[in-house]
């Protein structure tokens, strides 16, 4: 008996130990954080050094390092210190630093998702440096892109990667149904649904897939017609928003007709593309990096513009989803250096964009880069189409809208409405609910 | 007298470091959070607002939905899990059972897996082209895959199933240790008197395990009200907020949306109050010793 009690006690102790194991990951995290901190401080102490937080080794980190090398050519004493910090971690660290009032842990330059940029500037006004008079020429970037990091008429971010929407299509699949990429170029959503139904009937493949409960596509359609969920003053305009109703109608019609299938998570979404279960994708051009992982489909993809809304004045075939911009923090001791660095690399060097494009596919929103020869080169994966020049051209035509500080609130509320509408609820009542939710969360 | 004072001092000396640590690392932040919950504003720009946050949350449709979801999980999942754990513990306590250690480990093992990874595994199991749908289609029960996570009711059921899988073994261990304190002779006597297994369970095991059952009920209530990982990783709160939990919404309010830490802190305190009230009720109902 006693031995048994002992065994159970030990088992419980072991259980406690196991739980302990689960929690034991915390110290490692702390360690990296202290490492980062030390690095940040040394960087701040040394002169002619800039510290940067960004997250993707194949993409923005690579781009930043290349920018550092270019700048070193003219400033040999300059050093760049890039610290890999995932976007969510950067957000948490930024929040911690800003709320504790100790900004010394922050880097000089930080990469932030466009959709979170205004939110951060407004929530933590002491953290970001006003770049309006920094000597960086913002007119050289796509205007819709620049808007993302403008707060109260002031520029706080240097635009980086492009989120221009592409409509990438499997040419072999639509060919099976008797179509070419030209049939899908410069069309309206009504045309698209008709074509999509035909492709579905002839090949059994839906044109699109989307994560269920995500309003991304609706947002893209909305922006393509110059619409937004907020007005210029930042008040929500979800209810009685004719464009939003039209965009949701299009989405509901796509789902109902089977032209669009809903999946549950990101892996299934990307999996659908790479396995060839869906015939096309409409999303920010960064999705092409995932598309190109399907090497067996090389040569069978082509890029064109997205459909536009029918019967809407000012509707275009261009929109934006995602992308990020560089911000400079107030912890930066040498803002003149940071300004000069940005002005002579990301906001002034076509050479930089030429270097980073082939290896990382990092597409610029820096308009002069589009004229570069590298951008005009045909891409084998896309059947020799010079997609990068095409997309940069799209980017310049995206309607400029106010995405709003409360972007994530609106996005979640509209996603909820969208899910309910697909399940059969009344669209106007749902939009009214969504508007109420967002207004409530804004404290109005 | 002197000796007693000295002993007292020694006792306090041993207690002091731990007390100090708890006070600084735990009570002080809790106190600051309480103060924070009376303020409102965006990010660092907070202003005093009194009880505004506490009245505000009851007008918040999403938070009320989250509260409802938490209670659905609580009312359905906790009883099923505890009864299952009790039954398993009783079965494993049977002296004639072979390979006891193996079964015990197998049932306890889920509890040693990471919350995030098990949630992701459940998500892929119940995907439209996941294991269960493939099985159901191949077995001819369904024609095409059913979107378990796309329908409010089935999404909640998946979360409840996941929770049961993850936590039953954990509670079973508590019951097993409780069972060791019940003299085997009591069972033998009952058997000689011709009591059925059900009567034995109902008249001996359950009453004698009452303190342990109470403990697990309180732990489970606490855990369910603070549910976070499953809501975030398994369903992401969807479809249409039908599975979002309070903690998930609090996280969104702090890190995803325009941050309002005052409001988030106030909602956290509501969870604390709910846990305290429920634990109090359970103790009053469950413990008849005084």
Could you give the maximum distance between any two Cα atoms of chain A, in Å? Answer: 84
pLDDT band at B80 (very low <50, low <70, confident <90, very high): very high
The verdict on B258 touching A (C-beta cutoff 8 Å) is yes
Residue A263 has φ and ψ, to the nearest 5°, of -120, 170
Domain of residue A421 covers: 165-318+400-441
The verdict on B52 touching A (C-beta cutoff 8 Å) is no
**B127 → closest Cβ in A1, A8, A268:** A268
Same domain assignment for residues A145 and A171: no
Q: Is residue A344 part of a domain?
A: yes
Same domain assignment for residues A352 and A280: no
Q: Please answer yes or no on whether B254 and A95 come within 8 Å at the CB atom.
A: yes
Q: Is residue A254 part of a domain?
A: yes
Q: Please answer yes or no on whether B42 and A123 come within 8 Å at the CB atom.
A: yes
What tens digit of pLDDT does each residue of A343-402 get?
989 888 888 888 888 777 677 778 888 778 888 888 888 888 888 888 888 888 888 887
Same domain assignment for residues A105 and A251: no
Same domain assignment for residues A426 and A305: yes
Same domain assignment for residues A312 and A344: no
Write out chain A residues lying below 8 Å of B114, CB-based.
Answer: 22
The number of distinct structural domains making up chain A is: 2
Same domain assignment for residues A313 and A363: no
Q: What whole-number distance in Å separates Cα of residue A350 and Cα of residue A370? A: 9
Residues 205-244 of B with CB under 8 A from A: 236, 238-241
Write out chain B residues lying below 8 Å of A274, CB-based.
Answer: none
What tens digit of pLDDT does each residue of B141-160 get?
877 778 888 888 888 999 99
Q: Which two tokens stand for residue A3?
A: 């031995």
Q: Please answer yes or no on whether B42 and A22 come within 8 Å at the CB atom.
A: no
Helix (H) or strand (E) segment spanning residue A190: helix A189-203
Same domain assignment for residues A264 and A225: yes
Q: What whole-number distance in Å separates Cα of residue B44 and Cα of residue A415? A: 29
pTM attached to this predicted model: 0.79
Average pLDDT, chain B: 87
Q: What whole-number distance in Å separates Cα of residue B180 and Cα of residue A9? A: 10
Q: Is residue A31 part of a domain?
A: no
Same domain assignment for residues A204 and A283: yes
Q: Are B156 and B242 in contact (CB under 8 A)?
A: yes
**A416 → closest Cβ in B149, B176, B240:** B240
Average pLDDT, chain A: 83
Q: Please answer yes or no on whether A12 and B258 come within 8 Å at the CB atom.
A: no
CA A208, chain centre distance (Å): 19
Q: Is residue A6 part of a domain?
A: no
Q: Are B271 and B226 in contact (CB under 8 A)?
A: yes
Same domain assignment for residues A261 and A325: no
Nearest residue in B to A420, CA atom? B240
Q: Is residue A280 part of a domain?
A: yes
What tens digit of pLDDT does each residue of A327-349 get?
999 999 888 999 999 998 988 88
Instruction: Looking at the complex, report in whole angstroms how far the Cα of residue A383 sits from the nearest Cα belonging to chain B.
Output: 31
Write out chain B residues lying below 8 Å of A122, CB-based.
Answer: 42-43, 258
What tens digit of pLDDT does each residue of A121-178 get?
988 888 999 998 888 888 888 887 888 888 888 899 998 887 889 999 999 999 888 8
CATH number of the domain to which A365 belongs: 3.40.190.10
Q: Is residue A123 part of a domain?
A: yes
Same domain assignment for residues A106 and A227: no
What tens digit of pLDDT does each residue of A173-198 get?
998 888 999 999 999 999 999 999 99
Best of B151, B174, B257 to substitute, by most chain A Cβ atoms within 10 angstroms, is B257
Q: What is the ipTM of this complex?
A: 0.78
Chains A, B: CB contacts under 8 A, how many?
Answer: 119
Is the pLDDT score of A23 beyond 50? no
Higher pLDDT, residue A19 or A3: A3
Q: Please answer yes or no on whether A212 and B150 come within 8 Å at the CB atom.
A: yes
Same domain assignment for residues A207 and A139: no
**A99 → closest Cβ in B114, B257, B261:** B261
Q: What is the residue-wise DSSP string for A16-39?
A: HHHHHHHHTHHHHHHHHHHHHHHH
Is the pLDDT score of A15 beyond 70? no
Write down all domains in chain B, each with its CATH number in brackets.
61-286 (1.10.3720.10)
Q: Please answer yes or no on whether B255 and A443 come within 8 Å at the CB atom.
A: no
Same domain assignment for residues A194 and A303: yes
Write out chain B residues lying below 8 Å of A8, CB-based.
Answer: 173, 176-177, 180
CA distances (Å), A255 to each of A14, A261, A263, A421, B205, in order? 51, 6, 11, 11, 55
């Amino acid at each position: 008996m006693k031995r048994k009690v002992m065994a159970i006690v030990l088992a419980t102790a072991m259980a406690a130990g196991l739980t302990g194991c689960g929690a034991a990951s915390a110290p490692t995290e702390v360690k990296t954080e202290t490492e980062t901190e030390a690095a940040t401080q040394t960087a701040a102490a040394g002169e002619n050094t800039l510290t940067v937080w960004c997250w993707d080794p194949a993409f923005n980190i690579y781009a930043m390092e290349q920018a550092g090398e270019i700048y070193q050519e003219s400033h040999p004493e300059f050093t760049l210190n890039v610290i890999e910090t995932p976007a969510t971690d950067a957000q948490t660290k930024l929040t911690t630093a800003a709320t504790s009032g100790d900004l010394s842990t922050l880097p000089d330059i930080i990469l932030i998702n466009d959709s979170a940029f205004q939110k951060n500037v407004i929530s933590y006004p002491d953290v970001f440096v006003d770049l309006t008079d920094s000597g960086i020429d913002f007119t050289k970037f796509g205007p819709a892109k620049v808007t993302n990091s403008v707060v109260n008429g002031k520029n706080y971010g240097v635009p980086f990667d492009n989120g221009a929407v592409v409509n990438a299509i499997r040419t072999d699949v639509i060919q099976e149904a008797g179509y070419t990429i030209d049939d899908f170029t410069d069309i309206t959503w009504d045309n698209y649904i008709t074509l999509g139904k035909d492709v579905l009937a002839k090949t059994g493949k839906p044109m699109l897939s989307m994560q269920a409960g995500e309003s991304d596509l609706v947002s893209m359609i909305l922006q393509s017609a110059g619409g937004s969920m907020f007005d210029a003053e930042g008040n929500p305009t979800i209810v009685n928003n004719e464009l939003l109703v039209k965009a949701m109608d299009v989405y509901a019609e796509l789902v109902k007709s089977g032209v669009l299938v809903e999946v549950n998570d990101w892996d299934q979404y990307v999996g659908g593309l790479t396995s060839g279960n869906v015939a096309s994708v409409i999303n920010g051009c960064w999705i092409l990096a995932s598309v190109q992982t399907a090497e067996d489909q090389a040569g069978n993809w082509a890029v064109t513009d997205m459909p536009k809304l029918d019967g809407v004045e000012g509707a275009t075939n261009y929109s934006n989803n995602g992308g990020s911009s560089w911000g400079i923090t107030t912890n930066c001791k040498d803002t003149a250096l940071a300004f000069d660095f940005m002005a002579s690399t990301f906001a002034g060097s076509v050479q930089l964009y030429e270097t980073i494009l082939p290896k990382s596919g990092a597409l610029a929103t820096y308009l002069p880069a589009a004229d570069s020869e590298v951008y005009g080169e045909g891409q084998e994966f896309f059947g020799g189409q010079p997609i990068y020049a095409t997309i940069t051209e799209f980017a310049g035509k995206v309607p400029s809208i106010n995405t709003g500080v409360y972007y994530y609130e609106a996005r979640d509320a509209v996603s909820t409405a969208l899910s309910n509408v697909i399940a059969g609820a009344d669209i106007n009542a749902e939009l009214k609910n969504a508007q109420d939710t967002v207004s409530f969360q804004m404290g109005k | 007298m002197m000796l007693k004072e000295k002993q007292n001092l020694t006792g306090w000396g041993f207690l002091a470091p731990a007390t100090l640590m708890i006070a600084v690392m735990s009570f002080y932040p809790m106190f600051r959070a309480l103060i924070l919950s009376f303020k409102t504003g965006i990010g660092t720009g907070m202003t005093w607002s009194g009880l505004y946050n506490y009245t505000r949350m009851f007008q918040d449709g999403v938070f009320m939905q989250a509260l409802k979801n938490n209670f659905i999980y609580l009312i359905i999942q906790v009883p099923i899990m505890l009864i299952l754990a009790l039954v398993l513990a009783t079965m494993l306590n049977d002296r004639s059972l072979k390979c006891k250690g193996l079964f015990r480990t197998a049932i306890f093992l889920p509890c040693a897996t990471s919350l995030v990874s098990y949630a992701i595994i459940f998500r892929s199991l119940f995907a439209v082209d996941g294991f269960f749908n493939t099985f159901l289609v191949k077995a001819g029960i369904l024609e095409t895959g059913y979107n378990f996570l796309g329908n409010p009711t089935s999404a909640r059921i998946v979360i409840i199933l996941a929770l049961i899988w993850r936590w039953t073994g954990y509670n079973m261990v508590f019951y097993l240790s409780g069972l060791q304190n019940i003299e085997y002779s009591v069972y033998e006597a009952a058997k000689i008197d011709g009591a059925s297994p059900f009567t034995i369970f109902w008249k001996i095991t359950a009453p004698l395990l009452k303190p342990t059952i109470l403990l697990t009920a309180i732990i489970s209530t606490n855990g369910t009200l603070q549910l976070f990982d499953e809501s975030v990783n398994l369903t992401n709160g969807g479809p249409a907020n039908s599975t979002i939990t309070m903690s998930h919404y609090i996280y969104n309010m702090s890190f995803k949306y325009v941050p309002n830490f005052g409001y988030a802190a106030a909602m956290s305190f509501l969870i604390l109050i709910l846990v305290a009230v429920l634990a109090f009720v359970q103790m009053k109902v469950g413990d008849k010793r005084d």
